[in-house]
Amino acid sequence: MIYFDAAATTFQKPPSVRQAVLRAMETMSSPGRGNYQSAALAAEMLYTCREELSALFGVENPENVVFTSNATHALNLAIHSLVPAGGRVVISGYEHNAVTRPLHAIPNLQIHVVNTALFDQEAMLRGFRDLITEDTDAVICTHVSNVFGYILPIGEIAGICRQRGVPLIVDASQSAGSIPIHMGELGAAFIAMPGHKGLYGPQGTGVLLCGEEGKPLLYGGTGSNSREQAMPDFLPDRMEAGTHNMPGIAGLLAGVRFVRRLGVGAIRRHGFQLKEQLRQGLEGDGRFHVYASADDGVQAGVLSLAPRDTDCETLCQTMAEAGFALRGGFHCAPFAHQTVGTILSGTVRFSVSAFNTNEEVESFLQALRKQKIYK
Amino acid sequence: MNHYLIVCRSVTQAQRAGRLLTSFGITNQVFRTPVGLTERGCSYSVRVRSAQLDRAMSVLQSNHIVPVKVAAV
């Protein structure tokens, strides 16, 4: 099988990730719960992972790196921390349900959506300028659309937030490890990311980078202040109740080291180049509507296409039988499909990782050309 | 009393302090704080030699690390 669903999970991992998971299971117990060898090894690895993530994302203090079970968990923590009932938020029209469903659950919340055309960064900036007011509780914005690969102008949006004193939550689910993002430069309140996509860690890992203290969602043991019933008032303990996913985080550490070794810039160029190969290969193929831009500043290694004469899930099934893994449907992002006009049809999404090759893309294009697509 | 314990609020803060001190050439060890030294419950400490305490505290202060307390052991 040739795997083009890295936007969901990077399926191919560096061998070092698998080895690290196994080693953690063999040698590590609970961090911060003792000074015997297995606990000390666990604590050492956990802190090293915080340090590596800090270095990759420009976080000054490793204590501000919080481990979560995925990006959804991290986003829930950030939203719970900043958005009150009856509050006001501004979001982009490209958000995932991991953002919009937690917002939907908050009573009497005013949600203002910046609905602007695909790949038009200027229009999006105008929209944010118009909607961010000083009484906005938070701006929540994805860095890259998980459906269309659209790179939102997050640096400029962060600048507007800083000017107006409004906290920013960034969903870096599709950019962490694939496109440079820097906590210090953005001055964000929180950046949420999964461990299992562009950071090449195992599923069940996620990270929240904190520019603010935040509020816990889970309450329980932290290995600190144990005589007190209130959760600790400091990071990371405040947001990390219970035993950590040690095998997962050990694998994440190996994944982060892999990313740092390759370099995020090189990974970005690779993803863009593969996406460009596909875009050019689909040019003139009237069977599909292709959502793509040749500008590397506005689209990452994710591309959606909509077959004109068949259902997107049917095409995905056909291609799966031909040996290609793609994601069809709505990608848990109805806002993005609504914004672009694909809310009824859905799309077929192609997304790549550092492990995909030009030969794989060519093979996919050849297989696609052979498909007879009927209504 | 040859050593001092720099009591930290968490294992993470103690690790941060320990690595920072190491990078400044200050020998240290991170381990669990004796129960008698903690009012709030479990925590971790960084142990340094008495002769290096002042320098250690200066390094921590300049990096905005505020210990819970310092105790001679």
Cβ contacts of A46 on chain B, cutoff 8 Å: 12
- Over residues A5-63, the pLDDT tens digits come to 999 999 999 999 999 999 999 999 999 888 899 999 999 999 999 999 999 999 999 99
pLDDT at A374 exceeding the cut of 60: no
Q: Which of A140-144, A176-180, A306-310, A348-352 has the lowest mean pLDDT?
A: A306-310
Give me the mean pLDDT over the A104-131 stretch: 98
Per-residue pLDDT for A160 more than 90? Answer: yes
Is the separation of the CB atoms in A58 and A188 below 8 Å?
no
Taking an 8 Å cut-off on Cβ atoms, the answer to whether B10 and A61 are in contact is no
Of A193, A224, A207, A206, the C-alpha closest to A31 is: A224
pLDDT at res. A373: 66
Q: Is the pLDDT of residue B22 over 70?
A: yes
Q: How far is A103 from chain B (nearest CA, A)?
A: 32
Whether A76 shows a pLDDT value over 60: the answer reads yes
Choose the closest CB to B31 out of A35, A46, A232: A35
Mean pLDDT over A66-88 rounds to: 98
Q: What is the mean pLDDT of residues A109-134?
A: 98
What span, in angstroms and rounded, lies between the C-alpha atoms of B30 and B14? 6
Facing residue for B40 by CB, picked from A43, A223, A228 = A228
Q: What is the pLDDT of residue B1?
A: 67
ipTM metric: 0.92
Confidence grade of residue B38 (pLDDT, cut at 50, 70, 90) = confident
Nearest chain B residue (CA) to A51: B16
Please indicate whether, in this complex, the C-beta atoms of B12 and A34 are within 8 angstroms of each other. Answer: no
| Residue A12 sits at the chain B interface (C-beta within 8 Å) | no
Is the per-residue pLDDT at A173 higher than 80?
yes
Chain A CB contacts of B20 under 8 Å are none
How is chain A split into domains, by residue range?
Answer: 2-10+263-370, 15-262
Among B11, B12, B40, the residue with its CB nearest the CB of A227 is B40
- Cβ of A62 within 8 Å of Cβ of B12? The answer is yes
Query: Quick one: pLDDT at residue A175?
Result: 98
Instruction: Give the nearest chain B residue to A64 (CA atoms).
Output: B12
Answer yes or no: is pLDDT of A225 > 60. yes
Cα→Cα distances A160→A115, A136, A138, A301, Å: 17, 12, 12, 27
Averaged pLDDT for residues B20-32: 97
Q: Where are the beta strands (DSSP E) in A162-271?
A: 168-171, 190-194, 206-210
Q: What is the pTM of this model?
A: 0.96
A225 inside 8 A of chain B by CB: yes
Q: If you classify domain A15-262 with CATH, what class do you get?
A: alpha beta
* Mean pLDDT confidence for A90-97: 98
Percent of chain B with pLDDT over 90: 86
Residue type, A366: Q
pLDDT of the residue at A228: 95
Contact state of A35 with B42 under an 8 Å Cβ cutoff = no
Q: Determine the pLDDT at residue A92.
A: 98
Mean pLDDT of A179-187: 98
Q: Is the pLDDT of residue A247 over 90?
A: yes
DSSP-derived letter for residue A105 is: T
Considering the domain B3-72, what is its CATH architecture? 2-Layer Sandwich (3.30)
CA-based nearest residue to A55, from A301, A257, A254: A257
Q: Which residue of B has its CA nearest to A228?
A: B40
Angle of the A37-57 helix axis to the A15-27 helix axis, nearest 10: 150
CATH of domain A2-10+263-370: 3.90.1150.10
Chain B positions in Cβ-Cβ contact with residue A232 (cut-off 8 Å): 9-10
Are the beta carbons of A237 and B10 separated by less than 8 Å? yes
| Burial (0-12, 13-18, 19+ Cβ within 10 Å), A69 | middle
**For residues A319-351, b (16+ Cβ closer than 10 Å) or e, as one string?**
beebebbbbbbbbbbbbbbbbbebeebbbbbbb
Check B10 against A50: CB less than 8 A apart.
Answer: no
* Closest B-chain CA to A63: B12
Question: CB of A180 within 8 A of CB of A262?
Answer: no
* Residues of chain A neighbouring B32 (CB-CB closer than 8 A): 34-35
- pLDDT for the residue A243: 96
Query: Is B15's CB within 8 Å of A47's CB?
Result: yes
Of the candidates B15, B16, B43, the beta carbon closest to that of A224 is on: B43
Q: How high is the pLDDT of residue A35?
A: 84
